[in-house]
Amino acid sequence: MPDSALSGKTVLVTGGAKNLGGAISRDLAAAGARIAVHYHSPSDKGLADETVAACVAAGGDAFAVEAELTSVTEIRRVLDSVTGRYGALYATVNTAGLARGNPMTEVTEDEYDAHFAINSKAAFFVMAETAKRIDDGGAILNLVSSLLAAYTGRYSVYAGSKAPVEHFTRALSKELAGRRVSVNNLAPGPMDTSFFWNAAAPGEEEFSRAQTPYGELTKVEHIVPWVRFLLTDGWWLNGQTVFLNGGFATR
């Protein structure tokens, strides 16, 4: 059933073709939102097209846009295509990210630069360029990581490149307060998707499960309702990072 708070409103979901981003795109479309499904490379085009079709079938309107978000020019092109198509932008949900797990002594310069390019630089400019175009009363929501509250090795570059987003979020939430735009982060725990599997070391999945009282990894369906909530009734939360991990880590 469409949510009157989202019906007809435009949402950009970066990384919106698959995994958590794909589920968020579908859920918001089912609530009546118009979805811009961003995807990173031609290899994901098929998944993006499937997500767009699912959004339309759910009752929303949607289109896909490919872009390399480490380029500010490309970020601007994406946002201009959204406002050009729909005439407005209510919210951006930024799920795009990169995760690899290596000891610091094995991290290459290229690996370091790649993480900070997408997890920090792209997040900063997606937020900044969204802020220039977003409707008053809208929302900006970033997906970060519960590793920001964890005491662990192997993810120094991943967690380190996500940490600046908390500072970006606090600053932008202050700057946009007069326009009633909320800016927040959701920090899932290790998630039962390929994003985690591709980064995890042997035995890490079992270890991560054991760190929560429930003995489970975070699932996509644990996160999606919070996204919809923070874009609607949860607007009063602002400048915050919410750790959604079943008790994996707290702060």
pLDDT of residue 197: 55
Residue 1 within any structural domain of the chain: no
Domain count, the chain: 1
Give the 3-state DSSP-derived string for 83-145, with helices as H, strands as E and coil as C.
HHHHCCCCEEEECCCCCCCCCHHHCCHHHHHHHHHHHHHHHHHHHHHHHHHCCCCCEEEEECC
In a domain, 249, yes or no: no
Q: Which single residue is written with the structure tokens 């000891």?
A: 103
With contact defined as beta carbons under 8 Å apart, do 123 and 94 qualify? yes
Which pLDDT score, from 0 to 100, does residue 199 have?
Answer: 72
Q: Is residue 250 part of a domain?
A: no
What does the pLDDT look like over 173-185, one tens digit per residue? 999 999 999 999 9
Rounded to whole angstroms, the Cα distance separating 64 from 222 reads 25
Specify the pLDDT at position 105.
98
Give helix then strand counts, H and E, for the chain: 9, 7
Residue 204 tokens, joined: 């890490």
Cβ neighbours for 83, distance < 8 A, ≥ 6 positions apart: 10, 89, 133
In-domain check, residue 3: no
pLDDT beneath 70, residues of the chain: 1-4, 194-198
Do the domain assignments include residue 167? yes
- Decide if 61 is inside a domain: yes
What integer pLDDT is reported at residue 3 of this predicted model?
A: 56
- Contact between residue 67 and residue 38 where contact means Cβ atoms under 8 Å apart: yes
Q: What's the pLDDT at 175?
A: 98
Can you give the pLDDT at residue 142?
Answer: 98
Asked whether residue 4 is domain-assigned, the answer is no
pLDDT at 191: 82
Residue 238: domain span: 10-244
Query: Using an 8 Å Cβ cutoff, are 36 and 28 in contact?
Result: no
129 within domain boundaries: yes
d(CA 249, CA 147): 8
Question: How far apart, in whole angstroms, are the C-alpha atoms of residue 10 and residue 162?
Answer: 26
- The CATH number of whichever domain residue 57 belongs to comes to 3.40.50.720
Q: Write the pLDDT tens digit of every residue in 57-105.
A: 999 999 999 999 999 999 999 999 999 999 999 999 999 999 999 999 9
Angle at 80 between CA 24 and CA 9, to 5 degrees: 45
Q: Please tell me whether residue 36 adopts helix, strand or coil conformation.
A: strand
Cross-strand partners of 61: 34
What does the pLDDT read at residue 4? 67
Task: State the CB neighbour count (10 A cutoff) for residue 40.
Answer: 19
